[in-house]
Amino acid sequence: MDKKTSECQVIVVTSGKGGVGKTTTVANVSTALARMGYRVVVMDLDIGLKKLDLILGLENRVIYDIVQVIEGECTLRQALVKDKRFPELYLLPAAQTRNKDEITPEQVKQLCDQMRPEFDFVFIDCPAGIEQGFRNAIAAADRALVVTNPEVSAVRDADRIIGMLESAGFQDIKLIVNRIRPDMVRHGDMLSIEDLLEHLCIDLIGVVPEDKSVVVSTNRGEPIILNNRSTAALAFNNIARRITGEQVEFPTFEEDSFWNRLKGLGRNLFSTR
Amino acid sequence: MLDFIKKIYMRDDTSSRNQANNRLRVVLTHDRLNLNANTLNTLKEEIIAVISKHLDIDGTPEVRLITEGRNTALDISIPIKGR
Ligand SMILES: Nc1ncnc2c1ncn2[C@@H]1O[C@H](COP(=O)(O)OP(=O)(O)OP(=O)(O)O)[C@@H](O)[C@H]1O
Ligand SMILES: [Mg+2]
């Protein structure tokens, strides 16, 4: 199938703090876009600690990795792993036994330029931290998605990352709040979406609730968006739609109605399928 | 009834959500300016000292950071004694 859009978008998913849900976001949003018919490649830049292949369930198909492409041991085409479910989705795996410092921002840019004509979206899974791996991951990106959790240390790191992205010239930085628990917000035990927006002052593109089925789908190596009943699945699907420019209403952040609205939206979306 | 209880809950300044918000306000302002609480205090004392060399200060001077969006300003308010 041909590309759906003329311009390819390179999108980095980053956070500063580790373990907030970057890889889960990349796997699900890219799968959702591929399901809509876009041509998508996900690039794992968490070199030395790769996980994207596992979350996508593609670990047994990986032959080459990004460092081998850069060092000329194989071609880009040879290294790209085709997804099991969606023929428009590809993974460019990270190297497991290498070091983040072995590649440079310039090399990442060149790789992305090679992929732009062929794909609608290139997603970059950024490693935690603010060092070389972060600089490599943002070098080629046109826009950035910052993932955070409603928790002080994650918000602090998100703020730092937003500042660094702004200094690097990024105009399009959007926030994803992952692992929110509306029941805890309601009881005054967790920061709310409004709280986070007040602190971070950037636009919101997604709110993903804490959802046990994320762990289950990770165990199975199947992106959660393939599970119609999960609230996280709906949230990731909505992020994908917003990335394409579609206006998808957010549930009101009035804590009391949040959960119900989310459920209501879910029913509508899935019953029209 | 439930709503009533909730309202009391939310107004509670000691809820961990409120505490998190208060701590974040301070820490993000300091992070963005690469400033710590100590430097801010020193700055405050020095500003007041400079002013009081030339003018008589009346009441309580205030030197504080105010934040709007991702921007911060130093807000100095020093009441001066007139004749
Ligand atoms: N919405 C969610 N509900 C429940 N569990 C979640 C959710 N999002 C992520 N997790 C779990 O949190 C853990 C970390 O997620 P993930 O690997 O995506 O984070 P990361 O930011 O990529 O981490 P790292 O910085 O190590 O690369 C995983 O075990 C994942 O299953
Ligand atoms: Mg990760």
Q: What is the mean pLDDT of residues A98-110?
A: 89
Could you tell me the CA-to-CA distances from B61 to A246, B29, B50, B52 in Å, in that order?
Answer: 52, 21, 12, 11
Contact B21 A160 (CB under 8 A): no
- pLDDT for the residue A19: 97
- pLDDT for the residue B50: 93
- pLDDT for the residue A123: 98
- Minimal Cα–Cα distance from B51 to chain A, Å? 33
Residue type, A143: R
pTM (two decimals) = 0.87
Residue-wise pLDDT tens digits, A240-270: 999 999 999 987 544 444 555 454 454 444 4
Q: Is there a contact between A20 and A149 (Cβ–Cβ < 8 Å)?
A: yes
Name the band, by pLDDT with cuts 50, 70 and 90, for residue B11. Answer: low
A4 inside domain: no
Number of domains, chain B: 1
The β-bridge relationship of strands A121-125 and A203-209 is unpaired
Contact residues, chain A, for B25 at CB < 8 Å: 199
CATH code, A102: 3.40.50.300
B33 inside domain: yes
Q: What is the mean pLDDT of residues B70-80?
A: 89
Q: Which domain holds residue B17?
A: 2-77
Pick B18's closest partner by Cβ from A155, A188, A256.
Answer: A188
A106 inside domain: yes
B82 inside domain: no
A244 inside domain: yes
A184 inside domain: yes
Question: Ligand 1 centroid to A131 CA: how many Å?
Answer: 20
Residue type, B71: N
φ, ψ of residue B28 to 5 degrees: the values are -70, -40
A3 inside domain: no
Pick A188's closest partner by Cβ from B15, B28, B32.
Answer: B15
Question: Ligand 2 centroid to A262 CA: how many Å?
Answer: 26
- pLDDT for the residue A254: 43
Q: Which domain holds residue A109?
A: 9-271
- pLDDT for the residue B12: 60
Number of domains, chain A: 1
Contact residues, chain A, for B16 at CB < 8 Å: 188-190
Looking at this predicted complex, what is its ipTM?
0.80
